[in-house]
Chains A and B, each alone.
Chain A
């Protein structure tokens, strides 16, 4: 298998100021994502999805195990030249306009001015923000900011797109557009790693999923190989004992 992402025995424990362990976010995770796959990382809140993604991006260093992206250390510039990242929240400079934001990230990708300008125009057109290209992103709605962040992730024409909750904050029409975009990018040969709380989204776009629970891998497989719906499968793996005992509280 031509692996784009390879994690072997990866663990991450966060520590406080005195280096005392506070939380074990990921525990001995093995994962392999092949070229061209749309891979879903699923799990309840606090299961280690975002930490795993940040280790893949080189933003967080694992305590144990190895992470390889295209066979390279994720912190190397060569590895990150092939990655596009859409975070869960749209982290954007509020004082920059949409055009300036894309030009900034194009600059970080090392694109020359002419290419950056052309690609900025194309991407703003693609995400439907050409009409507000000159407005500061600080004045954008959540959905518009999400579109700018998505365009920023694609500005370097990455081979691997890492999306943390890609449909978070989007209306149903925009959600559908993002799903269509994921399908289009996947058909064009891009590898996509995404997390989602919305299992229907994962079912619609992912070719394979991994379910995390408490930092460990609870299950992994192709959508078609999982018996029943993904929701039933998910609940059977991580749903037990998670009821809020509302009746007991209301007594």
Chain B
């Protein structure tokens, strides 16, 4: 178990140190923020656009993060020779592969949590904007506090990470990714506390709570893509592995409609956790299959 923990920790650190991962995270937060801020259609609900943008970015962004960052992490191990060093130690190839894939998935979960926090801030902000504008008959706009909180999630990590790097030699991308995660969660908590505590959006906490199962559901495909990308990366080069995982994603497109049940939240509705559980259970054989395939690829591979 210690061996697996060491591999998972190093992989999660590697992926959070990846500038590509940091850029994806900050771009995702920006997309969630601005899609809600510049909304045109509300579909009868002020927070609809903010919610849907958040879920779309979690679905697409976490899948992209899983594919590109996982492939990069595995290919780097294979091409730089660090895999040889690791496998010369007392760790089995299967344990190494599964632990590394798990580490990649945890990093991917960090991405999803960051985006979910930003989406929650935007959704609460849209409700608050509506509460302020409706009595005057104005077009609702996203709440300024929410915009400020999400802007802080985008900018503060960069500034703080630069300062930590300059004065304490902390890793820039890893610090920025972690601070973005902390800012996003803290921002969501602050938005809920201010909107609900100030009486502006009495159901703010309920709204975020209703969003959670859909966000988890939208993040489920990233588990399959992480395992698939890991398996393909052992056998193929970067481009080919990304292409193979992309083809798999295309094959999964019709099924994504079933996963994507954001509509259930319309008009105060909610998505039962049982649906999420069913989706997670349905993903298990695919994840297990790709982990078995990847382990078999690695077992048969000559390193050197």
Stretch at the interface among B83-91, B117-125, B140-148, B200-208: B83-91
The answer to whether A109 and B90 touch across the interface, beta carbons within 8 angstroms, is yes
Known contacts A51-B304, A59-B303, A91-B80: A156-B90 contact under CB 8 Å = yes
How many residues from A make CB contacts under 8 Å with B?
A: 42
Segment of B9-17, B64-72, B178-186, B248-256 engaged in the interface with chain A: B9-17
B90 touches A80 (CB 8 A): yes
Mask: chain B, 212-225; 1 = CB below 8 Å from A; 0 = not = 00000000000000
Q: Digit string of B1-38 for contact with A (CB within 8 Å is 1, else 0)?
A: 01101110110011001000000000000000000000
Residues of A near B3 (CB, < 8 A) are: 107-110
Query: Which stretch (A1-9, A92-100, A174-182, A224-232) binds chain B?
Result: A92-100
Nearest Cβ distance between residue A72 and chain B, in whole angstroms?
Answer: 11
Q: Pick out which of these stretches binds chain B: A36-44, A81-89, A209-217.
A: A81-89
Given contact pairs A108-B89, A108-B90, A93 touches B10 in the complex (Cβ within 8 A): yes
* Chain A contacts with B in 90-123, Cβ cutoff 8 A: 91-93, 95-96, 100, 103-112
Tell yes or no: B41 within 8 A of A by CB: no
Whether B81 and A111, one on each chain, are in contact in the complex, defined by CB atoms closer than 8 angstroms, is no
- Of B7, B81, B85, B86, the most chain A CB neighbours within 10 A belong to B85
CB <8 Å contact, B13 and A96: yes
Rounded to whole Å, the gap between the CB of A79 and the closest CB of chain B is: 8
Instruction: Kindly state the interface size class of chain B when it binds its partner.
Output: 20 to 34
A136 to B85, CA, bound (A): 18
Q: Which residues 3-52 of A have a CB within 8 angstroms of B?
A: 14, 50-51
Within B61-112, the residues touching A (CB, 8 Å) are 80-82, 84-93
0 or 1 for each of A149-170: is its CB under 8 Å from B? (1 = yes): 1001000100000100000000
How far, in whole Å, are A111 and B302 apart by their CA atoms in the complex? Answer: 27
Among the interface residues A77, A89, A95, which one has the most CB atoms of the partner chain B within 10 A?
A: A95
Q: A60-B303, A156-B89 are in contact. Are A91 and B84 (CB under 8 A)?
A: yes
Closest partner residue, chain B, to A112 (CB atom) = B2
CA distance A134 to B3 in the complex (A): 22
* Bound CA span A83–B91, Å: 12
Cβ-defined contact, A77 with B90, below 8 A: yes
Which A residue's beta carbon lies closest to that of B14? Answer: A95
Cross-chain contact B10 with A96 (CB below 8 angstroms): yes
Query: In the complex, what's the smallest C-beta–C-beta distance from B190 to chain A, in angstroms?
Result: 32
Give the distance to chain A from B10, nearest Cβ to Cβ, in Å: 5
Report the bound CA distance from A28 to B107 in whole Å.
47
A104 partner, pick from B10, B90, B93, B302, beta carbons under 8 A: B10
CA distance A111 to B169 in the complex (A): 28
Q: Is A185 an interface residue (CB 8 A)?
A: no
Q: A91-B85, A93-B10 are in contact. List 19 more A-B contacts (CB 8 A).
A: A14-B302, A54-B302, A54-B304, A59-B88, A60-B304, A77-B90, A77-B92, A80-B90, A83-B88, A85-B84, A85-B85, A87-B81, A91-B82, A93-B82, A95-B17, A107-B7, A108-B7, A109-B90, A149-B85
30 A-B residue pairs with Cβ-Cβ distance under 8 Å, sorted by A, are: A14-B302, A50-B304, A51-B304, A54-B302, A57-B84, A59-B84, A59-B304, A60-B302, A75-B93, A77-B90, A77-B91, A77-B92, A81-B90, A91-B84, A96-B10, A100-B10, A103-B6, A104-B9, A104-B10, A107-B2, A107-B3, A107-B7, A108-B6, A108-B90, A109-B90, A110-B2, A110-B90, A111-B2, A135-B169, A152-B85
